[in-house]
Structure 1
Amino acid sequence: MNANADPLEIQKFSELAHRWWDPTSEFRPLHDINPLRLEWINARAPLAGKNVIDIGCGGGILSESMARKGATVTGIDLSKKALRVADLHSLESGVPVRYKLIAAEEMAAQEAGGFDVVTCMEMLEHVPDPGGIVRAAAALAKPGGHVFFSTLNRNPKSYLHAVIGAEYVLRMLPRGTHDYDKFITPAELSQYVRSAGLQVESLRGLGYNPLTRLYSLNNDTSVNYLMACTRPL
């Protein structure tokens, strides 16, 4: 097991892996936000013909949707069960994705500079050293390549919405899905990004309306947010 991984986090998502592609399951939020994040990525880095890697791909929701856009996609994760589900769904859907059981840091050592687009979504808040993942993502990107992250801000509002609201009140997520202490502020992520040699290009918030049950991209980064970066030429 790579040092930059929490076995309990991997176990937690592995136990739910069989429900990954059920849009009414614990993974409903991922299904609901996927069109938004996909179009946001595609608008900044058109995916057709691109070589893409999805770090922390889980069951492959984003990986497969990027492949549908015409990208050649590699999805990596440390959950064997999640990758089995991803592989099976890829076979059933006929959308080819290369899945690998490998840590981001190891993948960066093997295929440095090999990807036009690197994505790492809803994953940084689940690892012991998010800065290490950012460095690996930067290493995987080609010069001039695009790197995309999404994670959770750390402040009282995000605790209220992402933990109390989502896990206890609305029950959108299983209790214990998130550890507030591992949330990352945009300033902290920006520092990781700059230290890894990347440039921040765009920052967007992801909002949820509990009345309409709809998500939207906006300028409020106080809870969920997405960051687009580039690796300089």
Structure 2
Amino acid sequence: MLDKSQLSQPIKENTSAKELARFNKLAREWWDPNGKFKTALAFNATRSAYMVRHLAYCHNRDPQSPQCLRDLTVLDVGCGGGLISEALAKEGAEVTGIDASAVSIEVARLHASQSGLTIRYLHQLSDQQIADGNQYDVVINAEVVEHVPDQPALIKQCAQLVNPKGTLVLATLNRTWLSWLIAILGAEYVMRYLPVGTHDWKKFVQPEELADWVKSDRFEPVYETGMKLNPFSGRWRLCPSMRVNYIQLYKRYFND
């Protein structure tokens, strides 16, 4: 039994004990800029910058203005150590981060305090947010769906938590031969950017699958991009190809 990962309420149906154990072990190392996850931190910097800019566009803000996400309510589902949550909070968003790992939440709270940021972190799952009747201007699910047993259920829960005319942000790994070559063989076995076994290629999700899972909740895609790593410089950049890592923003619409 994982004492530090037990949720305080019995809502663990869509979690994996194996995945929770792995992330509990990794959580404390996530914020070390010189540690073994420095590539992941660089990845997050590029990913978060894209999210901030395009969330500003989605909500009629100027992405160049200071705190361009001021007063937008954001839910970061599977927030981990708070990498995305902090990036958005720095731009003025009112961020709530939730995660199934209590250790991750502890790490996120501590780092936010050290950074002088006010972020609401909760040790819970998305279905508890639904039970509480919550909705947000922005809901983010980034690099989480590939780690849960019931993927469509998680994405549909995230969709339910978006306000009318709000934005859903989904980021994950595409299920292609190239993603296996780069994200598993390359990143885990050759370069050792991630521990071996971090990902299961069969759990990677194609963009069309995400779009299908949110269609019934009246979402349409508005922005999307791929991401690519330069293995020599260790730098990430945006790219047109979504064959490996990708980000999608969906806008909720309602017919008049």
Shorter-normalised TM-score: what interval? over 0.9
Aligned 8 A contact 2:85 2:97 in 1:
yes
- SS of match in other structure, 1:203: strand
Q: Which residue of 1 aligns with 2:189?
A: 168
Q: What amino acid maps onto 1:64 in structure 2?
A: E
Aligned 8 A contact 1:134 1:193 in 2:
yes
| Deviation of 1:202 (Å) | 2.0
Q: Does 1:142 find its partner at 2:163? A: yes
1:59-78 correspondence to structure 2 within 5 Å: 59-78=81-100
Q: Matched residues, percent identical?
A: 38
Q: What amino acid maps onto 1:6 in structure 2?
A: S
Which of 12, 17, 20 in structure 2 is aligned with 1:10? Answer: 20
Which of 182, 186, 210 in structure 1 is aligned with 2:207? Answer: 186
User: Distance between the aligned counterparts of 1:75 and 1:67, measured in 2?
Assistant: 11
- SS of match in other structure, 1:69: coil
CA offsets, 1:148-180, max 9 Å, x none? Answer: 010001121110000000001111111111011
Which of 230, 234, 241 in structure 2 is aligned with 1:209? Answer: 230
Q: Does 1:118 find its partner at 2:139? A: yes
Using the TM superposition, name which of 29-38 and 219-228 deviates more.
Answer: 29-38
User: Distance between the aligned counterparts of 2:125 and 2:202, measured in 1?
Assistant: 23
- SS of match in other structure, 2:28: helix
Q: Which residue of 1 aligns with 2:115?
A: 93
Aligned 8 A contact 1:138 1:197 in 2:
no
Using the TM superposition, name which of 13-22 and 73-82 deviates more.
Answer: 13-22
- SS of match in other structure, 1:19: coil
Q: Which residue of 2 aligns with 1:83?
A: 105
Aligned 8 A contact 1:204 1:225 in 2:
yes
Q: Could you state the TM-score of these two structures normalised by the residue count of structure 1?
A: 0.95
| Deviation of 1:200 (Å) | 1.5
Q: Could you state the TM-score of these two structures normalised by the residue count of structure 2?
A: 0.87
- SS of match in other structure, 2:226: strand
User: Distance between the aligned counterparts of 2:170 and 2:33, measured in 1?
Assistant: 23
User: Distance between the aligned counterparts of 1:78 and 1:7, measured in 2?
Assistant: 10
Aligned 8 A contact 2:155 2:213 in 1:
yes
- SS of match in other structure, 1:41: helix
- SS of match in other structure, 1:32: helix
Aligned 8 A contact 2:74 2:136 in 1:
yes
Q: What amino acid maps onto 1:219 in structure 2?
A: P
Aligned 8 A contact 1:26 1:174 in 2:
no
Q: What amino acid maps onto 2:213 in structure 1?
A: Y
Gaps of 5+ in 1: none
- SS of match in other structure, 2:156: helix
Q: What amino acid maps onto 1:16 in structure 2?
A: L
- SS of match in other structure, 1:70: coil
| Deviation of 1:44 (Å) | 2.0
| Deviation of 1:29 (Å) | 3.1
Q: Which residue of 1 aligns with 2:63?
A: none
Q: Which residue of 1 aligns with 2:240?
A: 219
Structure 1 residues 111 and 38, CA, compared in 2 at 3 Å: closer, same or farther? farther
In our comparison, the structure showing a higher alpha carbon Rg is: 2
Q: Which residue of 2 aligns with 1:35?
A: 45
**Structure 1 segments (4+ residues) deviating >4 Å:** none
User: Distance between the aligned counterparts of 1:23 and 1:195, measured in 2?
Assistant: 41
User: Distance between the aligned counterparts of 2:20 and 2:79, measured in 1?
Assistant: 12
Gaps of 5+ in 2: 1-10, 57-68
